[in-house]
């Protein structure tokens, strides 16, 4: 099968992915084989490919926002069938027996495996996933629309939950890429007032189109105190001002898997007043099921731009440059 393969981590400017013919994977017990239709490109892919995440499997097929059709099921699989349209997300599998797995917090499992990082992903014609982590795709979404929901959507949804935001409250979003442009649609559906800080003018324009009540630059201070905020940009320098912009008792959620160093905090100015700072770590299976259900009900409409599989390097370069709105999708 054809796949974009990473042999060595490196700057995406050097086009580190190579189009190659590799053996088709086979599903083991409990797994399913998926014929990939599309795979959305994620900022986490950048962190993997450029080596900002450690212990990257090499060689590796990246990609973890996969939509496709099940073509083969492994032994013991009963809940997924050949012909089903499914999604593959970041969380590929967990141990199932630790305190986190038993407590429905499998995103914190120390033996968790992740798609397109420790396990080959969806920049390929076929991919394998545990049937338990093959998400049924609601029929109202095209493949292109569904793909960004599988990480950008799920992580944005979990970040919204962890921000503690409630209907009608004021929410801040820092950075306005794929995840934030989905999160704002959910928050607006909940009746929240959304304040967006973003570097790029085209991203600011999209935030206006999606109903933000205020849009400013990355360093601008929102005009009203915020009940909850999410930082999507991997920029640690945003943390102190984002904390200061919170209402007393507000929560700041850090949605990225990687972030540049956070400057020192002034306790009285940045933290006092029961302001809460917390990270977002991967997702649970239930997060994915809940997000897809709510996305279909709203319905969420992701903005996407298409690239053919062999242009995966160009898609990653465009993502790093912030030169498109919404999410990039590789067509297989």
For 196-203, which contacts have Cβ atoms below 8 Å and span 24 or more sequence positions? 196/172, 197/172, 197/173, 197/222, 197/238, 198/174, 199/233, 199/322, 200/176, 200/322, 202/324, 202/325, 203/176, 203/177, 203/322, 203/325
The model's pTM is 0.94
| CATH 3.40.50.720 residue spans of the chain | 154-279
Non-local (6+) Cβ contacts of 82 within 8 A are 70, 71, 72, 73
Q: What is the pLDDT of residue 219?
A: 83
Burial (CB < 10 A; 0-12, 13-18, 19+), residue 224, is middle
92 and 145 in contact (C-beta within 8 Å)? no
- Per CATH, the architecture of 154-279 is what? 3-Layer(aba) Sandwich (3.40)
Distances in whole angstroms, Cα of residue 94 to Cα of each of 90, 100, 110: 12, 10, 8
d(CA 140, CA 143): 10
List per-block mean pLDDT (blocks of 10 residues) for the chain, which spans 332 residues.
97 98 97 98 97 96 98 97 98 96 96 97 98 96 98 97 97 97 98 96 95 94 98 96 98 96 97 97 96 97 97 98 94 96
Summarize the chain as % helix, strand, coil (round to 5): 30, 30, 40
Range(s) within the chain of domains with CATH label 3.90.180.10: 2-150+283-331
**Rounded CA gap, 170 and 187, in Å?**
10
Cβ atoms of residues 267 and 120 within 8 Å: no
Query: In the CATH scheme, what architecture does the domain 2-150+283-331 have?
Result: Alpha-Beta Complex (3.90)
């Amino acid at each position: 099968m054809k796949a974009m393969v990473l042999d060595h981590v490196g700057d995406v400017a050097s086009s580190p992915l190579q189009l190659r013919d590799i053996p088709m994977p086979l599903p083991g017990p409990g797994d399913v084989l998926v014929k990939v239709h599309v795979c959305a490109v994620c900022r986490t892919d950048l962190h993997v490919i450029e080596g900002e995440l450690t212990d990257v499997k090499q060689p590796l097929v990246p990609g973890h926002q996969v939509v496709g059709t099940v073509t083969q099921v492994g032994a013991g699989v009963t809940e997924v069938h050949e012909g089903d349209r499914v999604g593959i997300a970041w969380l590929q599998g967990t141990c199932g027996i630790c305190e986190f797995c038993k407590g429905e917090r499998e995103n914190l499992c120390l033996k968790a495996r992740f798609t397109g990082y420790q396990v080959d992903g969806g920049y390929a014609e076929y991919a394998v996933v545990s049937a338990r982590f093959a998400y049924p795709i609601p029929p109202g979404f095209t493949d292109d629309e569904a793909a960004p929901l599988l990480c950008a959507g799920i992580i944005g949804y979990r970040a919204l939950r962890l921000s503690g935001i409630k209907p009608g409250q004021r929410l801040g979003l820092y950075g306005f890429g794929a995840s934030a442009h989905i999160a704002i649609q959910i928050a607006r559906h909940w009746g929240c007032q959304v304040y967006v800080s973003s570097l790029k003018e085209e991203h600011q324009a999209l935030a206006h189109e999606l109903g933000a009540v205020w849009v400013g630059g990355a360093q601008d201070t929102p005009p009203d105190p915020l009940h909850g905020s999410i930082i999507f940009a991997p920029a640690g320098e945003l943390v102190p001002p984002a904390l200061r912009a919170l209402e007393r008792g507000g929560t700041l959620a850090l949605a990225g898997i990687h972030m540049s160093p956070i400057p020192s905090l002034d306790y009285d100015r940045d933290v006092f007043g029961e302001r809460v700072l917390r990270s977002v770590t991967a997702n649970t299976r239930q997060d994915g099921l809940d997000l897809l259900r709510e996305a279909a009900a709203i319905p969420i409409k992701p903005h996407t731009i298409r690239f053919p599989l062999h242009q995966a390097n160009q898609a990653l370069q465009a993502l790093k440059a912030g030169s498109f709105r919404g999410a990039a999708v590789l067509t297989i």
